[in-house]
Amino acid sequence: MERLSWDQYFMAQSHLLASRSTCTRLVVGATIVREKRIIAGGYNGSIAGGPHCTDEGCYMIDGHCVRTIHAEMNAILQCAKFGEPTEGAEIYVTHYPCLQCCKAIIQAGIKGVYFAKDYKNHPYASELYKAAHVTVKKVPFDDLIKLKLAGVQETK
């Protein structure tokens, strides 16, 4: 069996993290990596100890659930909480980061954003990444990778 590439490996980790999401609208996971080492992970859900959307429903304001912290933000905050530097790191996210997460990623000094699925990609986020010299790359997470993770050989 062919090994997963580093991008596929870290993206798989993000999809695993997403399985912990408590958001009923979109399931997202994020993995922060520095020098090919995972330093933090996050998924979208409520604050620690708070009520979850899966338990009490979404708390909607202007079309957005304000109960949920995004996966990218959770991963960045985990680094802050445990004193793990993010300067020069990379983040692997199941979905293209929203504009607010884009700004947090740039402020955290993360230099690479890898995402599996497009999701409301904001053109200003693209401008911000370019201005901050952040690499942005789509890393599809398809059924073939899922088969590889399960140890199933591809049939031709």
Residue 58 marked ligand-binding:
no
**What is the spatial distance between Cα 10 and Cα 92, in angstroms, rounded to a whole number?**
6
Of the residues 35, 56, 72, 154, only one is catalytic, namely 72
**What is the spatial distance between Cα 23 and Cα 77, in angstroms, rounded to a whole number?**
18
- Find residue 26's DSSP bridge partners: none
Helix segments in the chain, DSSP class H: 6-18, 53-56, 71-82, 99-107, 123-131, 143-150
Q: What tokens were used for 65?
A: 């659930």
Residue 79 marked ligand-binding:
no
84 catalytic residue (yes or no): no
Residue 101 marked ligand-binding:
yes
Q: Which among 112, 77, 111, 114 has a CA at the least distance from the CA of 95?
A: 114
Task: List active site positions.
Answer: 72
